[in-house]
Amino acid sequence: MGDIPVARRTSPTSAKANRWLLGVSVGTGSLLIALALVVVWRPGPLQRLLAPPPVRGLNARTGLDGRLLGHFPYGELAASKRVAIAPGLSLHRDAAAALLAMQRDAASSGVELVVLSAFRSHTLQKELFFEVKSDRNQSARERAMVSAPPGFSEHSTGFAIDLGDALAPATNLSPSFDQTAAYAWLQANAARYHFTLSFPRGNSQGVSYEPWHWRFEGSAEALQLFEPAQRLAR
């Protein structure tokens, strides 16, 4: 090609193809910019288009991150992974071992941690959500502030527990639990056993403050399940 002038080294066909590709690129870029502007200034229509259908039994939809009324979705722990920790109460075997160690060490400090609730099946969670919602004449959003819809409760994983202070039963499942010796001990020591408070004040999920609700994060399985909630809280 040494004897062909530089200006003639591109064939007319190639030049046309290049112009066509340039046009496609410009058009695609313009479309992406237009979509970005829609997302920024008019997100509603796009979100409605992408949103999953309403959840059966609730006048609500899951968000793009999978949450329903603030709660992340969780599957139900298989029976083969559950162990009893008290009559009528069970947990994932990993969480159960950590809980028993935590209760033992708390007792040595004069604190008796009482388990008020542990694993819950989706069926039980459905009863707790809809029946109490009806009894209290609550909307789904009001009920979700204090209880997760079925399929969206940390309790179904077998890694979550509700704790109380044996010496202060009047504070069970109440914000005033944070005034007890049990809560003070948990704040100082729960992380040693891989338990963390799920719903502190002003939490990013918009769930009511629950000083009694703690979840276990001491295994790869648990960390994977709760990673979306951790990421949202950062």
Q: Which of 99, 114, 132 is nearest to 173 (CA)?
A: 114
pTM score: 0.74
Tokens (6 digits) for 24: 């496609």
Q: Which of 223, 207, 189 is nearest to 198 (CA)?
A: 207
How is residue 68 annotated by DSSP?
B
B/e letters for 122-139, b = 16+ CB within 10 Å, e = fewer, are beebbebbbeebeeeebe
- Return the pLDDT at 8: 44
Distances from the Cα of 200 to the Cα of 44, 64, 205, angstroms: 30, 24, 10
Predicted confidence pLDDT, tens digits, the chain (234 residues): 555 444 444 445 555 555 555 554 545 556 656 545 544 455 455 444 444 455 566 667 788 888 988 899 999 999 999 999 999 999 999 999 999 999 999 999 999 999 999 999 999 999 998 898 889 998 888 888 888 999 999 999 999 999 999 999 999 999 999 999 999 999 999 999 999 999 999 999 999 999 999 999 999 999 999 999 999 988
